Chain A
Amino acid sequence: MQRLNLTIWITFSTVVLLLGAIWIWFSITPPGTTTQGSIPAPQQGFLAPDFKLTTFAGDSYTLSELRGKPVLINFWASWCPPCRTEMPAIQRVYDEFQDQSFIVLAVNTTYQDDLGDAITFAQIRKLTFPILLDRDASVANLYDVRSLPTTFFVDPQGIISEVVIGGPMSEALLRIRAEQILEGNP
């Protein structure tokens, strides 16, 4: 213990803190450079990768054309129990916020689902938001979807504000996130 002289310790601490302060100064980066908004990637803080898909009825939706509106993208399949469980909550939140431009795009992973089952499920549950068909897994691959359900909350600028892997999501989470994105505070 006596070997650790207090004067030496104070000198050491001062040098360490000075070096730390210099490193902080050296690490200054212009505002905006650490947010990755301009690069498309399926991760929070990045631009949501663009895609174009069609519904059962043949209506076409392109994500980039929805810029200016908050979007919830939900990847699901009719055989997936948590997907089935969370759909009614998504529908209720959509009903509540759709008049404020809140969009839900439910991307059915048709490449691994039975299209008939998916249509029946949507009809029984009276889902009114667009059900998009990803027949060749191109959009699921673009979004690096590895398990179902996976949900992306996209703000009006097209930036992913949150990724929720797995489910079912609670209605409170859906409601809070919709409110946050609409208030511009994702």
Chain B
Amino acid sequence: MLPTLQLGPLALQVPGLVLLAGLWLGLTLSERRARRIGENPGDLFNLVFIALIAGIIGARLSYAITYPSAFAANPLSLLSINPGLFDPLAGVFIGICAAAIYIYRKQLPFWSTLDALTPFFAVLAVAQGIAHFAAGSAFGTPTDLPWGINLWGATRHPTQIYEILLAAIILLAVYLIDKSQLGQTSGFTFLSFIALSSAARLFSEAFRGDSTLIGNGFRSAQIISWLVLAACLALLGRRVQLARTTEKTSQ
């Protein structure tokens, strides 16, 4: 684990650096794909940039609205770089809304744009696994298996390694899907990525030692992943059906 990298007086947060590197690499791959198929890579850059900025501002404002008295007493805290002062869920929601508005206003094709962004999302998923490994978060349950790692006072499932491996396999899979005939159906690459990522989380969550439990011991992340997987499989079927109908009409 390497949560911080001390460079002289500077303590660099390794998980944050890894995510930034993932952001850059993922966006570069998405832009390269856009150039290859004749789309405008500038649109992708603007889309990601707007979504990120809106997400960051939204996450901070949402947090400030939740705890108004603390921020009223210290208004400068609105500009603090403390990651603990963000509301991640609100940030994701506002970022998605901003992206949707940009797509609508620029009249970008919805599913094709998501397909173009899939390499970006897939690389970010790998980076997230590496960030978890660096921080020692998303740790596993204790195990006697020979590949267990010594972490937080016990030999545990290396869930961060599982996460990195699964994300890398999915990155390769979506690359192959995108190149295949199925990838020609708009939305298929993106929906495949979401479906595979949900399935991977559903599988790996069983080995996590920090799961949030609901009901009678169900892991909430697995329930959410199963629902997302079901929705993706239904949408994938629908996309294929629509493509076949269009093909028949054109014949």
Interchain nearest-CB distance for A114 vs B (Å): 17
Which of A4, A20, A26, A173 contacts B80 (CB under 8 A)? A173
Give the interface segment out of A36-44, A53-61, A117-125. Answer: A36-44
A13-B237 contact given A24-B218, A36-B152, CB 8 Å threshold: yes
Q: How far is the CB of A93 from chain B (nearest CB, A)?
A: 10
Asked whether any CB of chain A lies closer than 8 Å to the CB of B74, the reply is yes
**When the two chains form their complex, are residues A172 and B185 in contact, meaning their CB atoms are under 8 A apart?**
no
- In the bound complex, residues from chain B placing their C-beta under 8 Å from that of A28 are 216-219
Complex partner residue of A172 from B4, B85, B226, B240, CB under 8 angstroms: B85
Minimum distance in angstroms from A171 CB to a CB of chain B: 4
Q: Is the CB of A171 within 8 A of B152?
A: no
Minimum CB–CB distance for A173 against chain B, Å = 5
Q: Which residues of B contact A34 (CB under 8 A)?
A: 141, 208-213, 219
Which residues of the other chain, A, contact B230 by a CB distance below 8 angstroms? 13, 17
Which residues of chain A come closer than 8 Å to B219, judged between CB atoms? 24, 27-29, 34
Question: Is B234 touching A146 in the complex (CB atoms < 8 A)?
Answer: no
Is residue A175 within 8 Å, beta carbon to beta carbon, of the partner chain? yes
What class of interface size applies to chain A in its complex with B?
35 or more
CB neighbors of A among B199-243 (8 A) = 199, 202-203, 205-206, 208-213, 216-219, 222-223, 225-226, 229-230, 233-234, 236-237, 240-241, 243
Bound: A3/B205 CA distance, A: 34
Q: Does B70 contact A (CB under 8 A)?
A: yes
**Counting CB contacts under 8 A, is A70 at the interface?**
no
B244: A residues at CB distance < 8 A: 1-2, 6
Contact mask for chain B residues 142-161; partner A; CB cutoff 8 A; 1 contact, 0 none: 00000000001110000000
Give the B interface residue count (CB, 8 A). Answer: 58
Docked complex: A164-186 residues within 8 A CB-CB of B:
164-166, 169-173, 175-177, 179
Residue among A6, A31, A172 with most chain B CB within 10 A? A172
- Closest residue of chain B to A30 (Cβ to Cβ) is B217
Is B65 an interface residue when CB atoms closer than 8 A count as contact?
Answer: no
Q: 8 Å CB contacts to A: which residues of B167-203?
A: 181-182, 184-185, 199, 202-203
What are the nearest 4 A-B pairs in CB distance? A172-B77, A147-B11, A27-B206, A170-B80
| Subset of 12 A-B contacts with CB under 8 Å | A1-B181, A1-B185, A9-B240, A24-B219, A29-B217, A34-B211, A34-B219, A46-B153, A146-B11, A165-B3, A173-B82, A176-B70
Chain A interfacial positions (CB closer than 8 Å to B): 1-4, 6, 9-10, 13, 16-17, 20-21, 23-24, 26-31, 33-36, 39-41, 43-46, 81, 146-148, 162, 164-166, 169-173, 175-177, 179
